[in-house]
Amino acid sequence: MTTKVADVTTVVADFFEESGLDWNKLKGVCTDGGPNMLGSRSGFIILVKQKQPDLKGTHCMIHREALASKTVPKNLHDALTIINIVNYVKGSALNTRLFRELCQDIT
């Protein structure tokens, strides 16, 4: 299989059929924003809209953030990196405990 629109559409359509899913209940599709997904004539979202015209297509927020972060000034990028580190440490009791031990060992 490739990532060509026809192949992706076939895999999704087969999944819908095998799972007994109704295209009319599909309300939105979130993609990475690539041309094969959003193409104005033959993109994945256009092909899915042929099955479900009320569908809303969106560009993934995380992917948009990753693209935007490539163009931010260095000082802002550094600040965002520090925030990510803090979130990683505070996001898990184990990480918090290990970080506390590391800080105690350093002093």
Per-residue pLDDT of 81-92, as tens digits, reads 788 888 889 899
Share of the chain above pLDDT 90, in %: 30
Share of the chain above pLDDT 70, in %: 96
Per-residue pLDDT, 8: 87
33: closest CA among 74, 7, 68?
Answer: 68
Domain ranges of the chain: 5-60, 72-106
- More confident site: 27 or 61: 27
If you average pLDDT over every residue of the chain, what do you get?
85
By mean pLDDT, which of 9-18, 59-68, 91-100 is the weakest? 59-68
- More confident site: 83 or 18: 18
CA dist., res. 5 & res. 56, Å (int): 18
